[in-house]
């Protein structure tokens, strides 16, 4: 038997350490939380994607009483980017959330498993890593690529 250790490097930055571009992406993701439709969970999530030409697109979680018919902010954003700008890769994705009291979360939240798989597929589609920013009021996490969020992922290499 062989035991494997999979380590994921994460950089944690304070707000004053963010670049102007990173700050702009955080603000877009935060603004998107206010467009969330989350009457059931009361947990508003927004995401913003920086595309290869500098365009920023955003999306929010959209819930539905017929669970699981809703969609997470990350997938809403990525699917919009891929359908509206199919020739542009996603360089960076930022995720922000407000809790059930309407306050931005102190700790960064991470994408669910389904979103992680979609993010990995998007990296594969464009053959380019997508930097992931996870916003929290105390610090923002930076992960080099979506694949690091899902290190043992399923992809087209299995076909």
Question: What confidence score (pLDDT) does residue 67 get?
Answer: 83
Which active-site residues does the annotation give? 74
Q: Taking the domain 33-141, which CATH number applies? A: 3.40.140.10
CA angle 73, 6, 156 (to 5 degrees): 60
CA dihedral 62, 29, 133, 157 (to 10 degrees): 40
Among the listed residues 124, 111, 109, the one whose alpha carbon sits nearest the alpha carbon of residue 154:
124
Question: What confidence score (pLDDT) does residue 148 get?
Answer: 95
Structure tokens at 93: 């994705």
* Cα–Cα distance measured from residue 81 to residue 49, given in angstroms and rounded to the nearest whole number: 8
Among the listed residues 136, 74, 82, the one whose alpha carbon sits nearest the alpha carbon of residue 105:
136
Q: Hey, how many other C-beta atoms are within 10 angstroms of the C-beta on 23? A: 13
pTM: 0.94
Q: Hey, how many other C-beta atoms are within 10 angstroms of the C-beta on 110? A: 15
Q: What is the pLDDT along the chain (159 residues), one digit of tens a residue?
A: 999 899 999 999 999 999 999 999 999 999 999 999 999 999 999 999 999 999 999 999 999 999 889 999 999 999 999 999 999 999 999 999 999 999 999 999 999 999 999 999 999 999 999 999 999 999 999 999 999 999 888 777 777
Among the listed residues 74, 89, 79, the one whose alpha carbon sits nearest the alpha carbon of residue 130:
89
Q: Where are the domains of the chain?
A: 33-141
Among the listed residues 52, 13, 11, 32, the one whose alpha carbon sits nearest the alpha carbon of residue 96:
32
Is residue 127 a contact partner of residue 74, using CB atoms and an 8 Å limit?
A: no
Distance, CA of 117 to chain centre: 11
Question: What confidence score (pLDDT) does residue 105 get?
Answer: 98
Phi–psi pair at 81, nearest 5 degrees = -60, -45
């Amino acid at each position: 038997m062989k035991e494997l250790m999979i380590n994921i490097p994460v950089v944690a930055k304070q707000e004053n350490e963010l670049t102007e571009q990173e700050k702009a992406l955080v603000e877009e993701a935060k603004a998107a939380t206010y467009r969330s439709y989350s009457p059931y969970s009361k947990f508003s999530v927004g995401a913003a994607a920086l595309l290869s030409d500098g365009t920023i697109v955003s999306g929010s979680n959209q819930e539905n009483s017929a669970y699981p018919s809703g969609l997470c902010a990350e997938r809403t954003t990525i699917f919009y980017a891929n359908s509206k700008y199919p020739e542009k890769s996603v360089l960076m994705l930022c995720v922000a959330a407000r809790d059930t009291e309407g306050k931005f979360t102190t700790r960064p939240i991470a994408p669910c498993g389904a979103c992680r798989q979609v993010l990995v597929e998007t990296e594969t589609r464009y053959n380019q890593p997508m930097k992931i920013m996870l916003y929290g009021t105390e610090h923002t996490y930076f992960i080099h690529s979506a694949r690091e969020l899902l290190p043992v992922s399923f992809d087209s290499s299995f076909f």
